[in-house]
Amino acid sequence: MTPEQARQTQATVERTLREAEVNPYEMFRAQVDLAGEKLGYPADILEMVKRPERVLEVSVPVRMDDGRIEVFRGYRVQHSSVRGPCKGGIRFHPAVTIDEVKALAGWMTWKCAVVDIPLGGGKGGVVCDPTTLSEGELERLTRRYTAMILPLIGPHHDIPAPDVNTNARIMNWVMDTATALRGEPMYGIVTGKDLAVGGARGRREATGRGVVIVIEELLARLGREVAGATVAVQGFGNVGSVAAQLLHAKGAKVVGVSDISGALYDPTGLDIPSLLEHVSRSPQRLIAGYTAPGVQPLAGPEVLTLDVDVLVPAALEGQITEVNAGQIKARVIVEGANGPTTPEADLILEERGRVVAPDILANAGGVVVSYFEWVQNLQNFYWEEAETNERLAVILRRAFQSVWDNAKKHDVSLRTAAFMMGLERVVEAIRLRGVFP
């Protein structure tokens, strides 16, 4: 193991220990209870929508390059299909747990309901560290995992997508494996694919683009503009890097960014195009090793407490807790990650006048364009990227206005308003369909 790999492994262990203190499924249940209480829903209805419809745990044996067989643990959770087929990503990460996947599937249900697309929530994960796997091992892991969850997924049942440590290449393998095993083209079984195999133009940038749209809407309500605003971004993966790139292009000063390898800070604003070029050349696509005049290294967690106008947590869940919420200086927090803020931290932020655009609204751009990709796959009719971006903006701006109005109407936070709106739509679907038998 190289020193760089050792450092990353230690960072992963430390992060895992921190995350172990926050149970994401308990976070999800608490959020549903709060929204349900505001709406006056009975306990039995809330219990229905808190529990997932199906939980699958699978054993994933993989022959490694050295000939031995390693068995990985995988999950697929379908939280709700009352408004349409389940939809949600697959993540490859050493800290994946069943409670995490259940929570993420639940958040996907509310996310789809808040932006009012005809899908429900699902999520999947494999407990692994993909940075330690060769390309062949990663492909064999993906294909065997796909085979194991294939009884649950399908274009009209459950449609996976990329998530943490997965990308278009992984989705291509999922689609190809399903096609081979079912003996018919299965382009619509997964979204986030490459264009040549049924992907949608604009899908890769969709989540980060959606974060920026929500930032624009929120700052406008507060009498501010994106141009000139200072921004810190935690997590410089697909979501954080795209958000940083678009914000930089709109005139914002992105003064701090971080990933697993550390954090960078420049009070005059980082040169985001230069940083992106560095990351593209990095073997593991990390910001480590980037240098430029005025750029200072920081410890990773410090990016959360920088004195900025806008904070974008775009890493993993449970990053803003009661321990550090009181140190958050940003007036506006727009959640690019799923579940980055604990309920306890939410209360502290609200007391201190911080405005939080919740994940189920702020990072919904990915699932919206995944929905577009799914529709295009089913119709075998593909759109130009400009049309995708225009349709995305219409949906997110309308959803933001609805959440904003709901928050004012009930005098609640944007998160509670979004959960209330999503919960109302899910419960209404249950009411109209009835409970079988």
Contact 418, 109 (CB under 8 A): no
Structure tokens belonging to residue 166: 């997965």
Please tell me the distance from the alpha carbon of residue 130 to that of residue 138, in angstroms, as a whole number. Answer: 7
What Rg do the C-alpha atoms of the chain give, in angstroms?
21
Contact 144, 170 (CB under 8 A): no
Residue 410 buriedness (CB in 10 A; 0-12 / 13-18 / 19+): middle
Which backbone phi and psi does 38 adopt, to 5 degrees? -65, -35
Q: Which residues contact 146 (CB under 8 A, 6 or more apart)?
A: 173, 174, 177, 178
* Active-site residue set: 123
3-state secondary structure of 228: coil
Structure tokens belonging to residue 335: 């959640």
Please tell me the distance from the alpha carbon of residue 395 to that of residue 373, in angstroms, as a whole number. Answer: 15
Please tell me the distance from the alpha carbon of residue 79 to that of residue 161, in angstroms, as a whole number. Answer: 15
Please tell me the distance from the alpha carbon of residue 334 to that of residue 72, in angstroms, as a whole number. Answer: 34
Strands 158-162 and 253-259, by their bridges, are unpaired
